[in-house]
Amino acid sequence: MCGRFVSSSSPADLASYFGAEGSVDETLEQNYNVAPTSDVYVVHADGGVRRVDAFHWGLVPLWAKDPKVGNRMINARSETLASKGAFKPAFKKRRCIVPADGFYEWKKLPGQKRKQPFFIHRPDDEPFAFAGLWEVWKGPEKDGTEKLRSTTIITTEANEPMSAIHDRMPVVLPPSAWDAWLDPDNDDIDTLGQLLVPAPASLITMHPVSTDVGNVRNRGPQLTEEIAPEATLELGGDGAAG
């Protein structure tokens, strides 16, 4: 799964990197510990224009009576996108990219009650392009006054280095796939599904970090600093399930 990630790039930088023509007017604060239900940057197609906007993390389906449904839909398994009712409509028409400057995962260590958090990022420190879906929830009222744009991150089986920590990882799209993935007129589900594969092993590197990342109130860049596993476990902290 993917339950925490880093968002440190500005919307302008993301727009430039992903070839977007428009970017969100209001800039989100840099956050090195983005948690579910936060607002996150999303790259999506809007009327033929590629944009960077801020969406709620936790997809809220059209049929939801309460937006809290999205709390359980921060991730979507690639294997069931085409069949699961909550994700099927978005998979066909509303796909996006969730940029991330790295993400965290927790590993269970033998003889330890706490899990060891790891920071996973690209060796070149460029952003990951997580495959995502988005939706617009209009609320229970029929007048359309309440609207919420939300997103979910698609996961797949872990590649070889990630499998040492967890059995799942976010789908990372290569630049060659961005056009096809973001095109709302592309409804070739079979071809799109072929993009949802584990990232090449060469695309990720990782190191252990402090258990301070388990506390969502901690959001600073120090969370990504490498630390010896023994020292990490001695620090304590809230911990988090991976």
- State the CB neighbour count (10 A cutoff) for residue 111: 4
SS in 3 state form for 15-47?
Answer: HHHHCCCEECCCCCCCEEEECCCCEEEEEEEEC
Cα-based distances in Å from 121 to 124, 126, 200, 220: 8, 8, 13, 16
Q: Are 62 and 39 in contact (CB under 8 A)?
A: no
CB under 8 Å to 177, separation ≥6 — which residues?
195
User: What DSSP designation does 222 have?
Assistant: G
2 is catalytic: yes
Q: Are 94 and 149 in contact (CB under 8 A)?
A: no
Task: Point out the catalytic residue in the list 2, 126, 135, 141.
Answer: 2
Task: Point out the catalytic residue in the list 96, 105, 141, 230.
Answer: 105
Q: Are 130 and 153 in contact (CB under 8 A)?
A: yes
For residue 145, report the phi and psi dihedrals to the nearest 5 degrees: -75, -25
Give me 206's structure tokens.
């990782």
135 is catalytic: no
CB under 8 Å to 137, separation ≥6 — which residues?
60, 61, 62, 64, 67, 70, 147, 148, 149, 150
For residue 65, report the phi and psi dihedrals to the nearest 5 degrees: -85, -20
- Residues with catalytic annotation? 2, 105
